[in-house]
Structure 1
Amino acid sequence: MADPRDPRPLIGEPLALDLLNTRWRDAGQQDLLTDLDGYRIWLSSAGLADRCPADETSLTAVKAARSALDLLVADPGSAEGAAALNAVLAHGRLRHSLGPDGPAEAAEADPPQQLAAWLAADDYLSLLRRGAHRIKQCAHPACILHFFDTSQNGRRRWCSMALCGNRSKAARHYERTAGGRTGTL
């Protein structure tokens, strides 16, 4: 459940994309991860507040993961992005075990301040396995948000139909009506 203090326009995407969406445009560029308070809000919204420390070292690690994801989403073949993501992934692992309820796995990071960053990087790999072509940036030219397209046909274009989809449709309508009449008799 999203933290009610979270100001972002799009919350609830898979963890890797939710981390990317800590930057958005709203009367200028916004960044939730400028300080520890914003980082704590993100951890809370992502459901990680009870698992991941919220200190400067953790915030720095998460920003490094976000930078790697930025590079890879912009250019999936980026060697620099792959190296940066692999550097984040080097700090963690999944520990598999057999418990009373059957097979179990737990994410571990060394040091523990790397856990949130590692979880986001690992989630990106999971999204790639599900379909790299479904990792998309919103089609609205002023929007920088990302989403994982879960639509049946894979043709979703907007981060949110209520926000960017309607803005784009309204702009096209204006172009056809008011914009199309300019200079004509």
Structure 2
Amino acid sequence: MTPRPLVGEPLALDLVNTQWVERGRMVDLFDEPDGLRGWLAEHHLEGDPAAVEPPLREARSALRRVLERPDEDAERGINAILARGASRYTLRDAAVQEQHEVDAGWLPSWRATVNYLDLLRQQPNRIRRCGNPACVLHFYDTSRNGTRRWCSMDGCGARAKAARHYRRQRVTPTA
């Protein structure tokens, strides 16, 4: 399985980040052997990969659309996934119980979409796309001052720093 460039993000962003650009071409983790199965296991999500794959691809597309072009159309895509399930709360032995009623095959997609709503409720301005225009990865900025710009300093951040350094060092001919 191809190693992913950014892991450990909240579920919604991690789903979007199952597609990334590598050497100028788009890579899709779900097209890799056992890529989907591994992603489900990584997030402790259950489901038959054949049954959850189409809904996950739909959710990933809807999430990417709302992240990159937030408009009514993008929100309709998110709402269509949310309509596949609901949460019911009960109180038992002084503890809140939450039960999800979700269409078969849609639970991982629904959870990722609900996670996106949770991020919006917390700090929506911390949901960011990498500052490298060629990168398609998204992250939730947990830095202390909220100024993170790159998906990773080892990858996109280092390339940006190197490019800035090169531009500063380059000698320009005088006329």
Gaps of 5+ in 1: none
Deviation at 1:107, TM superposition (A): 2.8
Partner of 2:35: 38
Question: Are 1:26 and 2:16 counterparts?
Answer: no
Distance 2:77 2:173 in 1: 53
Deviation at 1:31, TM superposition (A): 0.5
Which of 108, 122, 134 in structure 1 is aligned with 2:101?
A: 108
Deviation at 1:35, TM superposition (A): 6.1
Gaps of 5+ in 2: none
Distance 1:55 1:42 in 2: 10
- SS for the counterpart of 1:136 is strand
Which of 44, 47, 62 in structure 2 is aligned with 1:47?
A: 44
Distance 1:131 1:56 in 2: 34
Contact 1:36 1:55 in 2 (8 A): no
TM-score (norm 1): 0.86
Distance 1:47 1:165 in 2: 31
Aligned residues, how many?
A: 174
Distance 2:95 2:174 in 1: 73
- SS for the counterpart of 1:153 is coil
- Give percent identity, aligned residues only: 45
Question: Are 1:63 and 2:57 counterparts?
Answer: yes
Contact 2:17 2:138 in 1 (8 A): yes
Question: Are 1:7 and 2:3 counterparts?
Answer: yes
Distance 2:97 2:29 in 1: 33
Partner of 2:171: 181
TM-score (norm 2): 0.90
Moved over 4 A (4+): none
Partner of 1:95: 88
Root mean square deviation, CA, Å: 1.9
